[in-house]
Amino acid sequence: MITFGPVPSRRLGKSLGINNITHPKTCSYGCVYCQVGRTVKRSSVREDFYSPELIHEKVVSHLDKLKSDDQPDYLTFVSNGEPTLDRNLGEAIRLLKKTGFPVAVITNSSLLDDSSVRDDLNEADWVSVKIDASDVETWRRINRPVDGLSLDSIFEGISLFASGYSGKLCTESMIVRAVNDNEENFRGLASIIKKTGPEKAYLSIPTRPPSDKSVSPPDTEKLNLAWQIFSEIGIEAEFLTGFEGTGTGYTGNFYEDILNITAVHPLREDALMKLLENDSTGYQVVEALIGQRLIKSVSYGGNKYYIRDYHIRS
C-alpha cells in the first residue's frame, strides 16, 4: 500500500501518508523503538523503489475518493523504512506538488551528508529531521545504524541542509528510558538542535509496540528536564506523546485547556493559576485531574510545573 489516511497529526493537521519504500522494511537504522518492526534490509545506498509516476497516480486516486471535509493538509512521506533511500524522492515530491497540496517528509537524517538527498528534501514544504543522540555510543545503542555511517557526517549534513532550506524545518528526538534520557544527552541534543535552528523541536516517547520489547518511555521528570533544558537556550520544544490535543489556547473549558497544554509542554504553576482565574475555577479541578492521574506536578529550578501523567513510573 502506497497511500493511507489521512490521519490526525498535531504537527501537520490531517496527513495523507505515503509509503515510498517497498516491502520488506528497508532502512539505514534499526532503531530500538521503531513501531514498524525490525529492519529486514539495512542499507545506506539509495535505489529505485516505486516510480514517481506510480506514487503520483496512487495519491491522486486516493484524493479523489476523499470527501471534501477529509482532504489532507499535507501529503507526508512516512515510510516502511527511510524515505530518502528512494533515489527518485525529489521527482516524486515535484509531481505531488502539482496536486496543490504541500508535501512533508519525515527523515531519520542519516543520509543528509549526501548532497543529492539534500537537493531532494529541498523540494518539500516541511521536513522533520531526527536527532536522538549527541554522542556515538548512545547513537549506536538507540538507532543501531548500518555500517559505514558517521554521526559527525550526519550532523554536518543536517547543518548544511538547514542552512539552505527555505521550508518549515522541525526536529524530532525520541527519548527512551535508560538509553538517552540523561541530562548529558539532553544538553548535547539541545546544543546541536539550537545550531540547526528548527521552527520547533519535538520530544517523543515510545507509545506503540517497539521492535525491541525492552524499550520503555522515560519518567515524566526526565521529560520535564529535557523540555526545561531546551527552553533555557531558546529552543521552542513540544512533546509528542501520543495525545493529540485540540489546541493550546484558552477556550473557556479549563479541563480541556489543561490537558491540551500539558500534553505539549509543562505548565508553570503561575500560568495554571491564571487559567483558573480566567475560568473562575477553583483549585479543586486541578486536584481532581491529579487524582485521576491525568496530570502530575514536578519541580524544576525552584518552580512547580504541571505535566501530563502518562502513568510512567521509575
The span from the CA of 172 to the CA of 122, in Å, is: 18
Domains of the chain, earliest start first: 3-240 (3.20.20.70), 254-308 (1.10.10)
The pTM assigned to this predicted structure is 0.84
The per-residue pLDDT string of the chain (314 residues; one tens digit each, 9 = 90 and over) reads: 788 888 878 789 999 999 999 877 899 999 999 877 788 899 999 999 999 999 999 999 999 998 888 899 999 998 889 999 999 999 999 999 999 999 999 999 999 999 999 999 999 999 999 999 999 999 999 999 999 999 999 999 999 999 999 999 999 999 999 999 999 999 999 999 999 999 999 999 987 767 788 888 899 899 999 999 999 999 999 988 765 443 334 545 777 778 766 765 678 888 888 878 877 778 888 888 899 888 888 875 677 888 777 554 44
Q: Which of 71, 80, 4, 7 is nearest to 38 (CA)?
A: 80
User: Which pLDDT does position 301 carry in this prediction?
Assistant: 62
User: Which pLDDT does position 19 carry in this prediction?
Assistant: 92
The span from the CA of 134 to the CA of 173, in Å, is: 11
C-alpha cell at 55: 506514487
C-alpha cell at 75: 501529503
Cα–Cα distances in Å, from 302 out to 160, 225, 269, 298? 39, 13, 11, 10
Identify whether the C-beta of residue 163 lies closer than 8 Å to the C-beta of residue 121. Answer: no
User: Which pLDDT does position 285 carry in this prediction?
Assistant: 86
